[in-house]
């Protein structure tokens, strides 16, 4: 591996709270190590369009608390083609970029892995996704903030649910991952949680709600991950209402509210640690790895392992607790 003199940093895919804090850490760590930094606006699309920004330490002042990403983000189908990947690499080399730090989810990491393997350019990936669904890190960047946003909404909805003896179905993000739904369900005291990873029959849900009603529960909250096999909160609510009319049922879709907002202290610190570690790993000759948090230690995981979704699973104790604590 040749000496690294200039690092490119970019965000790609869905935005996540804490991305700006991570960009800040990458830029300032690299500059402290006498390495130039180029911000690549709009991810892989920016590579194809030479949308490059030579960054200084002052360019990342006062962004640690801001949600979203100052580098913008976009999805780029052209980059997935052989010609698109070739063009991106040629643009990077023409601008003198020797290595990359990619901040995003599985699509971002897959693209970085393919680019690195094809053209032997060093890359380090940072898991920036609210879904918390990458191996090699207990928490992904933005997950804590997104979950706290959901919990705040649950708390407010519960107030009105209790006041009117209502059953609320709250749909949260999670097309393939139920992490937000599960953690928010535990923290928000939900009566039931429907997850993509575990199919829940409507009859089973109705039986549970009936049992809780017999135990004198006059209001309930059901969290539904958007990828639940029953078809989402509106569909679940309609099917439950057909067979169970004890409650006045309402549906709330939280949607992209979960992506925005100022990152939590946890996400700001995590972002700073991951960005700092990614630059150090590149300068130590590491490549095609994801920087993550295990316990309280920063660890490096090969991208092939980090992207292996078959190894990812939800916490067994939380899955059991949902039933035990909602009686």
Which residues belong to the active site?
131
DSSP type of residue 2: P
For 34, left (φ over 0), alpha (ψ -120 to 50), or beta? left
Residue 70 CB neighbour total at 10 angstroms: 17
Smallest CA-to-CA distance from 102 within 311, 303, 293 is with 303
**Residue found by looking up tokens 């699509």 in the block:** 107
d(CA 290, CA 303): 6
**Residue found by looking up tokens 């940093």 in the block:** 9
Query: In sequence order, which ranges of 200-232 are alpha helices (DSSP H)?
Result: 202-214
Angle at the Cα of 9 from the Cα atoms of 285 and 25, rounded to 5 degrees: 85
CB 167 within 8 A of CB 303: no
Residue 235 CB neighbour total at 10 angstroms: 15
């Amino acid at each position: 591996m040749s000496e690294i003199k200039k690092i490119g940093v970019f965000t790609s895919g869905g935005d996540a709270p804490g991305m700006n804090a991570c960009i800040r850490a990458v830029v300032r760590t690299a500059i402290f190590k006498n390495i130039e930094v180029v911000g690549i606006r709009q991810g892989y699309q920016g590579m194809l369009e030479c949308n490059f920004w030579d960054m200084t330490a002052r360019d990342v002042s006062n962004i640690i608390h801001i949600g979203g990403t100052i580098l913008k983000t976009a999805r780029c189908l052209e980059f997935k083609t052989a010609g698109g990947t070739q063009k991106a690499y040629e643009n990077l080399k023409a601008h003198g970029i020797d290595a990359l730090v990619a901040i995003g989810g599985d699509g971002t990491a897959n693209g970085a892995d393919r680019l690195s393997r094809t053209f032997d350019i060093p890359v380090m990936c940072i898991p920036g996704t609210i879904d918390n669904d990458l191996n090699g890190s207990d928490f992904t960047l933005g997950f804590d903030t997104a979950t706290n946003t959901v919990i705040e909404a649950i708390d407010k909805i519960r107030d009105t649910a209790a006041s009117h003896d209502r059953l609320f179905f709250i749909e949260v993000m999670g097309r393939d991952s139920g992490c937000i739904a599960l953690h928010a369900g535990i923290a928000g005291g939900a009566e039931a949680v429907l997850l993509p990873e575990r199919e829940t029959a409507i009859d089973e849900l109705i039986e549970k709600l009936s049992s809780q009603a017999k135990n004198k529960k006059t209001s309930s909250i059901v969290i539904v991950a958007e990828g639940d096999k029953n078809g989402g909160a509106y569909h679940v609510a309609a099917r439950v209402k057909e067979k169970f009319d004890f409650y006045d049922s309402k549906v709330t879709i939280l949607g992209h509210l979960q992506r925005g907002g100022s990152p939590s202290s946890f996400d700001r610190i995590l972002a700073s640690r991951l960005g700092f570690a990614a630059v150090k790993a590149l300068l130590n000759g590491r490549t095609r790895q994801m920087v993550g948090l295990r316990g309280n230690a920063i660890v490096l995981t090969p991208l092939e392992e980090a992207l292996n979704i078959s190894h990812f699973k939800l916490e067994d104790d939380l899955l059991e607790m949902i039933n035990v604590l909602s009686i």
